[in-house]
Structure 1
Amino acid sequence: MLNSNSIFFLGIGGIGMSALARFFKSSGQAVFGYDRFQSELCKQLESEGMKIHYEDDIELLSKKIDPENTLVVYTPAIPNDNLHLAYFTEKGFNLIKRARLLGEIAAEQNCLAIAGTHGKTTTSTLLAHLFRANGKNISAFLGGISTNYQTNFWGSRKTEILVAEADEYDRSFLNLKPEAAAITSTDADHLDIYGEENSLKETFKTFADSVTELLLIHENSGLSDGLRYGLSADAPYRAQNIRIENHQYTYDLVYPQGQINDIKLGLPGRYNVENSVAAAGIALHYGLSEVEVKLGLESFKGVKRRFEYHIKQEDLVYIDDYAHHPKEIEALALSIRELYPAKKITAIFQPHLFSRTRDFMPQFAESLGLFNEVILLDIYPARERPISGITSAALLELIPSENKSLAARQEIINRFSKEKPEVILTIGAGDIDQLVPNLKMSLLK
């Protein structure tokens, strides 16, 4: 299966799918794909030699794509009425879900996996960076674009270690059998899949049970089997003596075999201090020295759309972030307030999914109320159809703030071409990132 002459990706522009596409392309196999629209990531894949089309039309398929020589990869996000999926099924192609394929690739190496409803992308990217920055030859399949390396994949089939982001959506991470793992959080999410929070937690326990050597669990994860990490004085892996110096987090890292002092983390946010403890703990277990770990932590530039600075001036700060869950928004708000205690903070938020907005509407309202001003865009539907009564207007009513509004994108651009905020954020997992270039341009006028 892994040696098929050609690979076709249904939804190649997805962050996890594109990492797999890059893996097969680097192995010398022909890579083809379909996506609904030509994103910047798709353009990059095309520039790397992959053939992609953007219409659900089987007439656009290359003649090289045939049942004997082509593996077809898909995700649960592909709707059942997709014409490509129907064609590949009817013609007897070998079809495989993205998660199972990643599991088969990971089974050939020592898999180090990072799971959790929040924090897994940054933590897995940081772990991979710790190895790469110190000249260690590993493979990495990431759920975001590393700012250091401008990609979400590197490596080959010949490396001994593979770092993977372990995605809980659709129970995908159960396809991995990690040698080591960290679980960053188990807060309720994806209730459209799991039904209730307890089912999600039980699935995380199943994932934890599959880890064969080292398991780190966040101290507030609700899990018991594993070594705890966090900020508490009794956690075996912890950060202590945390302080902010020149808008930068500095701290000491304690682990069972020693201590690394005065780390100046290359990432903002107290929650990223916790993420760095998990990544460092695994890296130290796999042979990196204290000097190497400190070098890697201090040189890490983060992940695209995770607390990503676009403007960082004394009188104007603009940050873009992928947060799309109430807990993530709360952590973001508290971290920004800690960094900029005297500034007015304006948040532009695009809710992601009708079901998530429905399931957590009071919690979204509470976390958004932590900002001085909130501007809401319409809900980004992704794979979903509208749900009656679930709108951004309904969410706005619940936010405990007087300084709140609904706005269209052009209204936002027009306003901030004339008015300069002190700290402004764009937040969400939909297509709000398409607002970033124009908003940045308007702010800098």
Structure 2
Amino acid sequence: MDLNNIKRVYFIGIGGIGMSAIARFFNEKKIAVSGYDRTATPLTRQLEEEGMKIHYTDDIELADKEANLIVYTPAIPATHSELKWFRENGYEVVKRSDVLQEITRSLFAITVAGTHGKTTVSTMIAYILTDSGYGCNAFLGGISVNYHKNFWSSEKGVAVIEADEYDRSFLKLSPDIAVLTAMDADHLDIYGTPEAMEEAFIQYTHNIKPNGTLIAKFGLHRNNELAAPNKLLYSLQNDVANAYAENIRMNNGGYVFDVVLPGKRIENVELHLGGMHNVENAIAAISVAQILGIDSDKIKAAVSTFKGIKRRFEYAVKSDDQVYVDDYAHHPEELRALINSAKALFPGKKATVIFQPHLFTRTRDLADGFAESLSLADEVILLPIYPARELPIEGVSSEMIASKIKVPVTIVPKDKVLEYLQTQETPLLITAGAGDIDQLKDPIAALLQNNKK
């Protein structure tokens, strides 16, 4: 695949967060971009406004048969008629990860992998590099609140890429700097066992370019097997690590802290995001910037103006008597960090969590962990499982989680949530999940704000 010789690109599943970033990459290069997706969304409408032609019916007659590159997402089934037609008619058909593979070969690549934290860390790195004037091309798995997009370009030959472990696609990347945030069990429908997933993350570190650097979270299981010519370990507060935070203070829903780095200290860094895990994410991002030689004052200024990512501890409502946080958390450890952080920031407020489980396999495999984390809340509202790419599994439902939760829990259909909330007091409300629960954010925020009047 020679990215320089491509004139027309067709995307099957163009509306995905990772796919749309690559579509924008080609579009900014003045390459003709078009695609298919199952449903129109605010993101696909943005892509159309940027000049990309998109249709929402699986119909080969609507596809660009003159395209010389077809890119598809693993979420598209092999039975998809457009995908089958292009494969059967001799087109170059590649996964999103194949395109990212070429990009990491041709640019100085900073990749961020891990079962959680990777979207925040990659976006934070890309923002620090951009805000400081260093420059980068950013391929992100979330929408930056600062720039309202998941991709931006630069003449600088540097790319910041979120490395997705689903489908083992991140193993195609060749990073110069690789970040590894977590190795918790997930995607067991793909990997089979937690050990197999750990092996994939270990292999990810083996793909680092000669003289490259690994920045890994301190204390990861099998840390001694993570290979790299250079290794830096970061932590929230453990001073055995190479980079960590000290003197952390909570400040109006955010934090002020000092960053200790090899041979350097940056004092009074301000982070205007909720969640103590985001302080740790900031340590990882700052460590990358330090390795690149970015001035400490520029790093500090960038972190203080970083507004976060949509649906990552995002304040939808924030006042003295009502706080509403929306988050993408869809793994037990993410929920644990989310709920603990919210309760620490707003002590004394009753915490109600509305959670939409994502995938039947994940619910089946991690039901105990979900119940344990959700029991940290004062009250839980569960939605039915969002199936995404999966068919139902007999005996697997939200009741699997509900039956194990140790605080009051109610299962409510998504279309009845607003009606249910009208009768509830929710001074600290959290919505979480990776499905379509985000469609409730604005209506819930409007309801809460109207209740205050």
Q: 1:136, CA displacement in angstroms?
A: 2.2
1:66-105 mapped onto 2 (5 Å cutoff): 66=66, 69-105=67-103
Q: 1:418, CA displacement in angstroms?
A: 4.9
Q: Partner residue of 1:181? A: 178
CA contact (8 A) 1:4 1:71 kept: yes
Q: Partner residue of 1:356? A: 362
Counterparts of 1:248 and 1:207, CA distance in 2: 33
Counterparts of 1:78 and 1:169, CA distance in 2: 13
1:367-386 mapped onto 2 (5 Å cutoff): 367-386=373-392
SS at match of 2:214: strand
Q: Partner residue of 2:60? A: 58
Counterparts of 1:210 and 1:76, CA distance in 2: 22
Q: Partner residue of 2:418? A: 413
CA contact (8 A) 2:109 2:174 kept: yes
CA contact (8 A) 2:371 2:402 kept: yes
Matched, 1:44 2:46: yes
Q: 1:395, CA displacement in angstroms?
A: 1.6
CA deviation map 1:343-391 (0-9, x unaligned): 0011100000000000000111100111011001110000000011110
Counterparts of 2:253 and 2:417, CA distance in 1: 28
SS at match of 1:24: helix
CA contact (8 A) 1:183 1:221 kept: no
1:3-402 mapped onto 2 (5 Å cutoff): 3-62=5-64, 65-66=65-66, 69-156=67-154, 158-212=155-209, 213-222=212-221, 223-224=223-224, 225=226, 226-230=231-235, 231-401=237-407
SS at match of 1:182: strand
Q: 1:54, CA displacement in angstroms?
A: 0.4
Counterparts of 2:147 and 2:104, CA distance in 1: 21
CA contact (8 A) 2:134 2:294 kept: no
CA contact (8 A) 1:316 1:420 kept: no
Counterparts of 1:111 and 1:178, CA distance in 2: 5
CA deviation map 1:249-289 (0-9, x unaligned): 11110000210111111221111111100100011110111
Counterparts of 1:155 and 1:140, CA distance in 2: 7
CA contact (8 A) 2:330 2:433 kept: yes
Quote the RMSD (CA, aligned, Å).
1.2
Gaps of 5+ in 2: none
Identity of aligned residues (%): 46
Q: 1:175, CA displacement in angstroms?
A: 1.1
SS at match of 1:318: strand
In structure 1, what residue type is equivalent to 2:84?
A: A
Q: Which moved more, 1:245-254 or 1:300-309?
A: 245-254
Counterparts of 2:99 and 2:254, CA distance in 1: 39
SS at match of 1:360: helix
CA deviation map 1:6-43 (0-9, x unaligned): 10001001011000000000000010100000011101
Matched, 1:436 2:438: no
Counterparts of 1:87 and 1:139, CA distance in 2: 33
Q: Which moved more, 1:427-436 or 1:412-421?
A: 412-421
Gaps of 5+ in 1: none
Q: Which moved more, 1:216-225 or 1:163-172?
A: 216-225
Q: 1:431, CA displacement in angstroms?
A: 0.6
CA deviation map 1:34-93 (0-9, x unaligned): 00000111011011000000011112224xx32xx4210012111011011111111111
Q: Which moved more, 1:174-183 or 1:406-415?
A: 406-415
Counterparts of 1:317 and 1:381, CA distance in 2: 29
Counterparts of 1:410 and 1:324, CA distance in 2: 20
Moved >6 Å (runs of 4+): none
- Provide the TM-score with structure 1 as the length reference: 0.97
Q: 1:211, CA displacement in angstroms?
A: 1.8
CA contact (8 A) 1:6 1:71 kept: yes
In structure 2, what residue type is equivalent to 1:387?
A: I
CA contact (8 A) 2:121 2:285 kept: yes
In structure 1, what residue type is equivalent to 2:28?
A: S
Counterparts of 2:445 and 2:260, CA distance in 1: 39
